[in-house]
Each structure stands twice: as C-alpha cells, then as structure tokens.
Structure 1
Amino acid sequence: MRFHCPTVKSISVFAPATVANVACGFDIFGFAVANPGDQITLTASDQPGVRITDIIGDEGRLPREAERNTAGIAIQTYLQHIGRTDVGVDAVLHKQMPLGSGLGSSAASAVAGVFAINEMLGRPLPTVELLPFAMEGERLACGSAHADNVAPSLLGGFVVVRSYSPLDVIRIETPAALYCTLVHPDIEVNTKDARFILKNEVSLKNTIIQMGNVAGLIAGLMKPDYGLISRSLVDVIIEPVRAILIPEFNEAKHAALDNGALGCSISGSGPSMFALSRDADTAQQVGAAMQQAFLSVGITSEAYVSEINKQGPRVVD
C-alpha cells in the first residue's frame, strides 16, 4: 500500500453525537444524530507525533496528552498501523456537547480525529477500516473498546454490532420520516458507574422478551412499520436498573409517550434520554414536554431534534 505526506496543511472535521443501546439493544445498537457533535482541527507539523494543543468547551477537564485523550490515541494508533509515525500534527478539539452526557462524547472525538487524519493523508484507508482505531478511544475513555457509539458516528445511520470477535458491524436503513429527540438534563452520570450497577445475570424470561424486541425493532425499521417500532422500543433489562440514576426519568418518559413519541428510553448510559417520532413537529413537542418534566423539579436541560444522520463525519470549512 502506498502512503503519502499530508495532502493538506490543515483540516477540520465534525463527528456526530450518537444514541447507543436504543432501548432493547444494549451494546449492539446505535444511531447517529445531526447535532450535537464534536469538531477537531488538525494542522500539519514538521515535528513528528500527535499533540493536543488546545481543547475548547471541556472546562479544563480533559487531558491534553495525546496518549490519554480519545482523539489523540485514535490518531496515534492509526498512524502506527499504517507505518506513518513520521507524520506530525497539532490538534485543537472543540467539545460541542456535555461530558458524561450519554451522547457518545468520547466516541465523537475519537471518530473526528481518526477521520480527519485519514483525510489529511489522502484517504489511505476506507472509512470502515477506521473503526478499530476509534474504538481504542473508547477503550481509553471507559475501559472497554465497544463500538455502539463509534460505529454510527463513523459510518452514519443506524448500526448493529453483531459481533466483536470478529468485528461485524451492519448498517440498517431507517425510515426517512423518523425523527429523534434528545434531552440532556443538567446532571452527569459516569459511564463506569452506570455499568457497575448492572446485574451480571438476567432471567430467561427477560432474555426472551428482550430478544423479541431486538428482532422487532430491526424489522420495524426495515419494513418500515412504525407500530412495530413503537412496540419494540422496550428495554426490560438495562433501563429499569439505570433509570434510578436519572431524576424524573419516569415522568419525562411518560411526557414523551403522551405527546406522541413512538418510544423513549435512556441514551447510552445516561443521563440523556432519547425519543423517536414519526415527524419533526411531534419530535419538537416531545422535547418540550420532556424538558418541562425535568424543569418541574428544578432541573434545566438541553433539547435537540434531528433526523437520523446517515452521513456520519464530515469535513467543515
């Protein structure tokens, strides 16, 4: 394989936030949204190596050392893989979503970084082959190289992670009219804490219910059948445990469903919640109702409404 020096001196890339788990699909489902997301700017340097020169929007909380930063480690492992440790880049990371939000913040940074360096070098690897490097960012962030956030952020659309050994990721087509509402209450849930409270064993009864919902959701998306999507957006295993970490979770969920949402659950490990709707107006109404549920107990929130983002990362001016 032939590799080149950077074809551009500077490049900026936006990578989208994601909803992981999608109710019944713990660690296997995820989809990308149009906003929010993270942006990275890489500038070529004569000095080999990866340097994080600035991070904007993190309130000083993220490490600047490349090997301890999700974007930095993704770029480093990519360069090592293609044998280009002679390449030097300075990176400025713009965090445009809250940390610990359940919106795939660490994944978006890793995807933005590895997608940007691949573009800068003239695309020596196809986009799908960038996934393992972005997953290294997730390993750094939460101790597990899971793909349910990085895969949809990188590939766009709705993604199924069928297997990790070997890695097998499938992109599922979704209805054009499907809209997502994201509501992020101004509280924080640590991903490691959200995993720690999960049970190690699941009853056969709940396993069967969950498997039916997983199959039903995929079938509903592909047909498309909105009624089937709605009936399948049910999580009997993870949501009942993690909901206790989100104040007013039940009230916000009921508000979403009462205002026309097809379904509503936790986005990733929380505290953000997502809802799916059949049109933009309903999705906006759902967001307002969910925000009001949180505000009733003094919790402010941010709401985002978008279609499913089928593009994934993009180069920005």
Structure 2
Amino acid sequence: MNDIQEVKDTLATKPQHLTDSVHVFAPATVANVVCGFDVLGFAVNEPGDEVIMRLTNKPGITISKITGDEGRLPLNPAKNTVSVSVEHYLKSIDRTDIGVDIELHKKMPIGSGLGSSSASTVAGLFAIKTLLGDDTDPSTLLPFAMKGEEMACGHGHADNVAPALLGGFVLIRSYEPLDVVRLPHPENLWCAIVFPDVDVPTREARQIIRNKINMKDAVTQWGNIAGLVSGLFMQDIDLIGRSMKDILVEPVRSMLIPDFYEMRQMAMDMGAVSFGISGSGPSVFAFTRDEETAKLITNKLRNHLTGIKIGSYGYVSTINDAGPRVMC
C-alpha cells in the first residue's frame, strides 16, 4: 500500500476532523552539517515558526494573518509555501472540499540559513494533518513539504524539511526514490548557533557552488560523510568532529559570511568539536560537548560581530528529537 492510500484509508475510518483549530510549532534546522550537502540535517529546539489553522465553511485555503515577517511574505495562498504545500496534501487525499484559514507567526529570522521556510511549511502540514485526524507516520508529509521548498528556493531538497518534520538527525539517502533515514546521535551533543544579520539569499548561495569536482576532492568528501555518520552511530564525538570538514561548498559560501574563518578559529579555540555553515548561511554553528561551552561560544561570536558593526541572534540547543508539536 502506498503512503497516500494509507492516509485515505485511515481518514475514511475516522470522523472528518477531531477539532476545528490547532496551534502548531515546527523547529529550525541545520542543513548540510558541513560535509553532507543536501543529504544531512538536524532539528534544534529553538528558534522555530508557529501556525494557527482553522477549518472554515467555505472550501479553499486563505491566509488571514502573517506576523514577524516585516511584510516580506505573501498573503496570496498561491504564492506562500505553507498554503501551497497544504493544498498539495489536500488534493492528494481528495479533500479539496474543506476550507482552511491559516495564521503564520514567524518566530525566526527569514533568510537565516536555519530552514525558515521549512519550519513554516512543516508547521502548516502538521496542523492540517492534526485537524483531519490523520495519525499516519509524519513521513507521509515529506513530499508535500518538499513542494514548499521548491517554491522557496527553486530546488525541492529535503535536508531542512525532513529533520523539521521527523525531528532528530536525518540522512537523505536518495531523492529518486525518496529514502530518508533517521540517525542516532550522542545525547550530550550541544549546538551553538549564531545568525549574523546579513543577507545571503538561498538561491544565490546555490548558484555559486561548483557543478564539477575532481575525483580526489570527491573521495575526501565521501570519507568525511561516512565518518560523520559512523561517529553518530558510535556516539564518538571526536570522530564526528574530525569528519566535519567540507572542501566542496564551504570554500565558496564562506566568502559570503563576514569573518567566517576568524569566527571558526575562535570557536575551536574555546573547545568546539566542529564549526561550519548552517545551510546556505549566513548562520554558523558549532558542536560542543556541553551547554556551558555552547553558551560561551555563542556570546563570543556575537560580541565579535558587534565589534565589526553587524547585529546577530544566538541560540543554544541540543538536537531536537521531537520535531513539530501541537501547542494547543
């Protein structure tokens, strides 16, 4: 039985909905994890986005409110990643007869490299799934979340939406066919995240990446990805740290981030296990063995950015294994 048929069969044996409204949070994510371009990502506890969704009497999807976006996101449901992904989901289960109103509350910076569009999209999909009483595995929503990513940045990758939806540390083993694997991780692995308030659009950040690489570089990168995944399974933080090196994407994307290498040196000198770019940037992150070190690194990097007249946001988190959650 395919996933969509499973959803249809599940809904056919349930009441049409369990509630008329729901408030959902979905988390930010760190994609690529340095060496795993488009195939690795993990969820964090904060920041994240929230969606309040209500069923209405009039068929179709409306967006009645967006907050926290400084007017940057469209209320037009045909142009918003949340409504577009929800529409794809409803069409797939033959439920375009229902009406849905969406409030989107952005609680995280747009264009941060922390999966802002993914968090919104996942919150919306999890909300409609909850409203309809669909208790199938959340992974059934992944293809619809990728539709939102395709609209947001021109490429339907899953390294943000998969961890936002499933929680934890995620490997995209294959895109055709889609094959997603949740990975274990050390419980005491902390993440320090700093978002320098500069503009690095995702589309442009993808365009500067090399299309061709030599075999020697590819072998090095494969070894690092394998080492990182092995370190996660073995709970070996040292192996995780020495595997998180990127010779393909970081050298070009780092040029878009002010003082990237200076910040990396600061973090490593303070005891970071590893340091790299979150997604397409400009956010950077460091793994540490404890919360105190993560906080110290976050403060140090933010103070450095203040010194060069760049504002910033900082977050400290363990890996979030829960993914989206209903708030009320």
TM-score w.r.t. structure 1 length? 0.98
**Letter paired with 1:147:** A
1:138 to 2:123 alignment:
no
Cα displacement (A) at 1:124:
5.2
1:171 corresponds, among 182, 195, 208, to: 182
1:280 to 2:291 alignment:
yes
What does residue 3 of structure 2 align with?
none
CA distance, structure 2, for counterparts of residue 48 and residue 256 of structure 1 = 52
Instruction: List aligned pairs for 1:36-185, cutoff 5 A.
Output: 36-123=47-134, 125-185=136-196
What does residue 8 of structure 1 align with?
19
CA distance, structure 2, for counterparts of residue 85 and residue 313 of structure 1 = 24
**Letter paired with 2:214:** S
Cα displacement (A) at 1:240:
0.4
1:233 corresponds, among 244, 257, 281, to: 244
CA distance, structure 2, for counterparts of residue 300 and residue 124 of structure 1 = 42
Farther-moved stretch of structure 1 (237-246 vs 125-134): 125-134
Cα displacement (A) at 1:138:
0.2
Instruction: List aligned pairs for 1:195-274, cutoff 5 A.
Output: 195-274=206-285
| Secondary structure in 2 matching 1:32 | strand
Cα displacement (A) at 1:6:
2.5
**Letter paired with 1:97:** M
**Letter paired with 1:175:** P
Of all paired residues, the percent bearing the same amino acid is 51
CA RMSD of aligned residues (A): 0.9
CA distance, structure 1, for counterparts of residue 103 and residue 17 of structure 2 = 17
Is the 1:54–1:92 Cα contact (8 Å) retained in structure 2? Answer: yes
Cα displacement (A) at 1:293:
2.4
For the structure 1 residues 195 and 63, does the alpha-carbon distance in structure 2 shift closer, same or farther, using more than 3 Å as the test?
same
| Runs of 5+ unmatched residues, structure 2 | 1-8
Cα displacement (A) at 1:255:
1.0
How many residues were matched structurally? 317
| Secondary structure in 2 matching 1:270 | coil
| Runs of 5+ unmatched residues, structure 1 | none
Cα displacement (A) at 1:90:
0.6
Cα displacement (A) at 1:292:
2.2
| Secondary structure in 2 matching 1:170 | strand
Per-residue CA deviation, residues 22-55 of structure 1 (Å, 9 max, x unaligned), is 0000000000000000000001100111111110
Per-residue CA deviation, residues 240-268 of structure 1 (Å, 9 max, x unaligned), is 00000011111111111111110010000
TM-score w.r.t. structure 2 length? 0.95
